[in-house]
Amino acid sequence: MIDPSEPAVPGALGPPETLEAARLPVPSGLGRLLVLAVVFVCAACGLVYELELVALATYLVGDSVTQASVVLSVMVFAMGIGALLAKRMRCRAAVGFGVVEALLALVGGSSAMALYSCFAWFGQSRSALVGFSLAIGVLIGAEVPLLMTLIQRIRRQDAGGAVADLFAADYVGALVGGLAFPFLLLPRLGQLTGALVTGAVNAVAGGALVLWLFRRDLSPRTRWLLLLVNVLVLALLATGTLLASPFERAARRAVYGPGVRVAVQTGVQEVVMTGGTGGGAGAGRGRKGSGGPLELYLDGRLRVSEVNEYRYHEALVHPAMAGGPHARVLVLGGGDGLAVREILRYRAVRSVTVVELDPGVLHLARTDPGLSRLNHHALRDPRVHTVTADAFDWLRQRRAAASGGRLPGSPRRGPPGGRGESAPYDVIVSDLPDPGITASTKLYSQEFYGLAARLLAPGGRLVVHAGAPTERPRSYWTVEATMRSVGLATVPYRVPGQPADFSGAPDRATGPEGSLPPGRCSAVPAPGGNTFWGFVLAARRPPRLDLAPDAPPLASVTRAGLRADERGAAADRIPFLRPSTLMHPRYQG
């Protein structure tokens, strides 16, 4: 793209005093200010590309710590390569910068759509993720040397002063881009359109700087070539923006099948539901309605399958309801209302408090015809009180209330029934994503269980969904060791599942490429082909795995079965594991 007839800048590779002064259409002071403004815009766009890749890596591949580390380390490495390569273009800095910005706008702007395409239609995205990280990193790294040359040609100054000005604009732009991504682009435009719009802004800023401010450095042929390239890039980005919605629908059909009927970005996560439009008795016990069984995906991971979710929720809830009173129950997570459905089958229950992070899931659990039918309209029961909050923060607030204090910003409201905010709970049900997901590790920490244990009434029980005991045994037994570390006696048990069942797996990685379509269980079956859901029941005194005398008729859980589930889990115990803490999480890998 560089015109060989382009006149070289004499001494461009030498010290600042040998650079030929730029011939600008504006005074040098204003020209320098315009260059710094473009540095600001390009830095903001560059950081948006980085954050976009990190967000996509977490969503499409999983395990945010690992994927963020891969993306950022590859990009920083590539930026060094780009800076070295840019040395060869400094003699034609203006045209070089124009080419770099056009390529960066195209590659960065289309990265989200390209990665989602790889995931939806080819079943993998890790290779493409590394490739885009390298390409974007090389192009971002090439910007600074070229901009340094351009700004020195406007007004000669010592190298330290020029670097300080350039980096100040760069860092402030990065701040704006870093704030714009989560608070503006992602919620307002979404990942696909947000990346495309960022690319268009990048192309306009870079093209305007070169084609107007430094136009006298370009030959007519080069000027027209750069103009054509920028117009083509903007046309491609505009076409992508217009096609973003139909593309997203087609990609969802490729990933989730043709039955997608709900797809929303709640601000916390992407929520997708398929099927579940058929009614009839026995719904929720594996009978398919006319619309097929309901499946609920959160950020691409299958969380609820109508075919046999009842087996999971019966095993989670009913053993904890035995062994003592169960009038007051706390559910951490469980915004789909399915655990609450099982709890409300006991007449002795007087109040249920549900602490769910995502208000969008709570809204769907109340209003969606398929999901509300499946949970038997549990969240509309007058005994149920829902709270939108992070479970860890909410427990801290309750602990502060119980101690007579109150954390800043905590609400001054109590649960229904006229009881004080510090009243203990007979049963606490932790229905949260697996600990292998980075965002969930604090919800499986020693600190978390210490806070939960303080809210238990005398004789109260805490039950935790602890992951897959055969597919990720070290993670499962770390949960059990962490619960014991806060003084709780534990009974681990597991319930058989099938590879097609819903899974709270930490990521989708199984093969060399590291991705599976979201509708597949990411766990590798244990020897013999069996997979399991793992649970841990805990109390201050050794609990007994049993069913309450007033337990309703259950489809999948029996007393004899629970004994077998307990023996099966104990046979595979991993001893001497250390507890997981906030400062030393032990669930990764």
- Give the residue numbers marked as catalytic: 431
> Given its phi and psi angles, is residue 456 left (phi above 0), alpha (psi -120 to 50 degrees) or beta?
beta
3-state secondary structure 325-380: CCCEEEEEECCCCHHHHHHCCCCCCCEEEEEECCHHHHHHHHHCHHHHHHCCCHHH
In sequence order, what are the beta bridge partners of 189? none
- Alpha-carbon torsion (36, 38, 44, 50), positive or negative: negative
| Token pair belonging to 384 | 């149920």
- Listed residue (396, 416, 414, 392) closest to 406, CA to CA: 396
Known binding residue 356? Answer is: yes
Dihedral angle computed from the Cα positions of residues 382, 384, 389 and 393, in that order, rounded to the nearest 10 degrees: 130
Known binding residue 313? Answer is: yes
Residue pointed to by tokens 């629970």? 562
Helix, coil or strand: residue 117: helix
Known binding residue 55? Answer is: no
Residue 174 to residue 40: CA distance in whole angstroms: 8
Residue 175 to residue 142: CA distance in whole angstroms: 20
Residue 281 to residue 574: CA distance in whole angstroms: 43
Please give the C-alpha separations between residue 62 and each of 55, 227, 382, 434, 436, in angstroms, as whole numbers: 10, 40, 38, 12, 10
Residue 404 to residue 355: CA distance in whole angstroms: 22
Known binding residue 564? Answer is: no
Pairing of the two strands 531-539 and 456-467: antiparallel
Known binding residue 269? Answer is: yes
Helix, coil or strand: residue 531: strand
Residue 532 to residue 529: CA distance in whole angstroms: 10
Residue 550 to residue 346: CA distance in whole angstroms: 7
Residue 185 to residue 248: CA distance in whole angstroms: 17
> Given its phi and psi angles, is residue 584 left (phi above 0), alpha (psi -120 to 50 degrees) or beta?
beta
Known binding residue 336? Answer is: yes
Please give the C-alpha separations between residue 7 and each of 39, 145, 228, in angstroms, as whole numbers: 25, 19, 20
Residue 405 to residue 170: CA distance in whole angstroms: 44
- Positions at the binding site: 269, 313, 336, 356, 390-391
- Positions at the binding site for S-methyl-5'-thioadenosine: 269, 356, 390-391
- Positions at the binding site for spermidine: 313, 336
